[in-house]
Amino acid sequence: MKTNYVIETFGLQDKVVIITGGNTGLGQAYSDAMAQSGAKLFITCYDKTGVEEMQNLYDQNGWEVAFAFGDLTNPQIQDEIIAKCLKKYKRIDILVNNSGTISRNPILEGTDAEWNKVIDINMNVVYRLSREVSKIFKKQGGGKIINIASMLSFQGGKFVPSYTASKHGVAGLTKAFANELAEFNINVNAIAPGYIETKNTAPIRADVKRNSEILTRIPANRWGKPSDVAATCVFLASKASDYCNGFVFAVDGGWLAR
């Protein structure tokens, strides 16, 4: 019987994926790419932004999706999301820790509240949700966790100390989880997006001077597209990444190579 290598190796047919914050920005790009690859999605959302439009798009294309709403910093909400996903799909195969936030302030003007909020959303949620889902993966015989890191998992940046610390933490958690869980057939990796064309980066791209400075630093001499990052997410969710463990994949056009 003939098989299609690409579909067998890179496809996600009937895989169940939890994606946090999968209804906006790059999160939606990850969701769309996985749905097109055959996955069944369970998307967590802080609010209903874009959800109706997304549901209509998925219905039109015959893609299976369910949504859950709530503040992920609440452990009870995390547990409810896991339970709801299991109730609907009976299993979980992939977790994409995409939800995040950022606060911009010079270090000397920062507050404890600001720091705690960013660390809680960007790192503590990743730790606890990954821990709880990994218990299910172990019982099932395996699974995949994809964390969303950042260029600031490698660099210091300016005016975003809480974000930088949290993304360094995500990179560290990726390696720590991978080291302990690989023996259970659980792959844990991360993606570090570079400068990507999104609504959030539109003001920077519109600034001629700043845009030129960025492009000069990027060997590829262009901004990344959401599809560039989403393709890496599909790879890490697929069978093709079965021997990848504890690595942070930079999708940055060569930014970190400079």
CA–CA separation, 228 and 28 (whole Å): 13
Q: For the whole model, what pTM was predicted?
A: 0.96
Whole-number pLDDT of residue 224: 98
Q: Quick one: average pLDDT of 176-190?
A: 99
Crossing angle of helices 125-140 and 75-89, in 10° steps, is 30
The 8-class DSSP code of residue 245 comes to -
pLDDT digits (tens, 9 = 90+) for 197-252: 998 899 999 999 999 999 999 999 999 999 999 999 999 999 999 999 999 999 99
Of the residues 30, 58, 89, 163, only one is catalytic, namely: 163
Name the average pLDDT for the chain.
Answer: 97
Q: Hey, what domains does the chain have and what are their CATH numbers?
A: 12-253 (3.40.50.720)
Residue with tokens 């009870």: 76
CB 133 within 8 Å of CB 95: yes
Our answer to whether residue 30 is catalytic in this structure is no
pLDDT at position 111 over 70? yes
pLDDT at position 170 over 60? yes
- Give 58's Cβ-side CA count (13 Å radius): 26
CA 187 → CA 145, 180, 213, distances in Å? Answer: 6, 10, 37
User: Facing residues of 96 across strands?
Assistant: 19, 146
pLDDT digits (tens, 9 = 90+) for 133-143: 999 999 999 99
Tell me the Ramachandran region of residue 189: left when phi exceeds 0, alpha when psi lies from -120 to 50, beta otherwise.
beta
Whole-number pLDDT of residue 257: 95
